[in-house]
């Protein structure tokens, strides 16, 4: 048995991921020279004060270390490290570290991270590519690699129904808002199928919300799918698999207008097919796929 003084510490940390230009990045804090003489990056977070909720402690610590306001998720894992001979505050102790690591996210438009608490244990905060962490190009503490085994991007498979609505030389499209994964791109009107909802009913509901027009759903033309890493409206990064049911449909007469303001659609319009073919109007692959099905 060790005769050294015992020091037990509970701390909360976060795995914060984002997607930028097709690559997944992780938010890390570089330990100050007084903590590590060599360059070493770790997860943002720190000690839980007596009587403090771990999630509240984590929000506080992330802001102190990165200047960012984080939303802490529900998923957490607990790690335990026993260091029988460790230096703490210049003393040799028998240390026991209990680390609670949560999933967390920051807004997609969050500013560049910067250290708020100067002269603390963090010297710098920055986003790093996950591939650089995995390759060792970015030197990280063991807790980072341990946590990444358990905290991968949230996996979400979503079934959605979309409408191919055409009139001579034009197709009805909706534009994705900044809240969506591909802002500024145009796609087919439609959206997610709720649990227990028939896809045709879901499509009619979504078209009316996005276009303000009553929709008559026709035959199923085919199925399209997509798989990518991107941000959900909440800001959480997701390993996303979308399964898209594409129906032929028609809408009532009238000028289309977005009804669900503040959602993932910010504009709806009849778009010339020539503008889609030329690339003048940027569209998602599901549009090209649907138009090909419609001609078959």
User: What pLDDT, in 10s, does the model give residues 8-39?
Assistant: 999 999 999 988 877 889 999 999 998 899 99
Last residue of some domain: 150, 180, 213? 150
What integer pLDDT is reported at residue 91 of this predicted model? 87
In tens, the pLDDT along 134-166 reads 899 999 999 999 999 888 777 889 999 999 999
Does residue 245 share a domain with residue 120? no
Last residue of some domain: 127, 150, 173? 150
**DSSP codes of every residue in the chain:** ---SPEEEEEEEEEEEEEEETTEEEEEEEEEPTTT-SS--EE-SEEEPPTT--HHHHHHHHHHHHHS---EEEEEEEEEEEEEEEEEETTEEEEEEEEEEEEEEE--TT------SSTTSSEEEEEEEEHHHHHHTSS-B-HHHHHHHHH-PPEEEEEEEEEEE-EETTEEEEEEEPTTSSSTT-EE-SEEEPPTT--HHHHHHHHHHHHHSS-EEEEEEEEEEEEEEEEE-TTS-EEEEEEEEEEEEEEE-SS-----STTSSEEEEEEEEHHHHHHTSS-B-HHHHHHHHHHH-
**Can you give the residue range of the structural domain that contains 136?**
6-150
What integer pLDDT is reported at residue 65 of this predicted model? 97
Does residue 183 share a domain with residue 65? no
What's the number of domains the chain is made of? Answer: 2
Average pLDDT for 223-247:
84
What integer pLDDT is reported at residue 210 of this predicted model? 95
- For residue 1, being part of any structural domain is answered with no
Residue 234 has pLDDT above 70, yes or no: no
Does residue 186 share a domain with residue 130? no
In tens, the pLDDT along 77-112 reads 999 999 899 888 788 999 999 999 999 999 878 999
């Amino acid at each position: 048995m060790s005769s050294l003084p015992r020091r037990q510490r509970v701390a909360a940390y976060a795995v914060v991921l984002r997607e930028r230009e097709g690559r997944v990045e992780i938010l890390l804090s570089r330990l100050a020279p007084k903590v590590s003489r060599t360059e070493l990056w770790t997860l943002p977070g720190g000690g839980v004060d007596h009587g403090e909720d771990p999630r509240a402690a984590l929000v506080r610590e992330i802001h102190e270390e990165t200047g960012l306001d984080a939303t802490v998720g529900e998923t957490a894992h607990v790690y335990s490290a026993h260091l029988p001979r460790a230096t703490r505050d210049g003393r040799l102790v028998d240390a026991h570290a209990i680390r609670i690591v949560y999933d967390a996210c920051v807004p997609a438009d969050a500013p560049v991270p910067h250290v708020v608490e100067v002269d603390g244990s963090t010297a710098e905060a920055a986003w790093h590519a996950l591939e650089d962490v995995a390759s060792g190009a970015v030197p990280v503490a063991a807790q980072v690699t341990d946590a990444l085994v358990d905290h991968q991007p949230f996996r979400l498979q979503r079934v959605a129904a979309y409408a191919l609505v055409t009139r001579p030389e034009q197709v009805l499209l909706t534009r994705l808002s900044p809240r969506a994964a591909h802002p500024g791109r145009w796609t087919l009107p439609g959206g997610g199928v709720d649990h227990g909802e028939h896809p045709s009913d879901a499509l009619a509901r979504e078209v009316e919300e996005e276009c303000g027009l009553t929709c008559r759903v026709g035959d199923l033309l085919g199925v399209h799918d997509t798989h990518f890493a991107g941000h959900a409206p909440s800001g959480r990064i997701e390993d996303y698999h979308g399964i898209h049911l594409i129906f032929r449909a028609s809408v009532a007469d009238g000028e289309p207008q977005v009804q669900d303001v503040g959602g993932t659609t910010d504009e709806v319009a009849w778009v010339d097919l020539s503008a889609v073919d030329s690339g003048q109007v940027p569209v998602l692959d599901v549009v090209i796929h649907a138009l090909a099905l419609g001609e078959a």
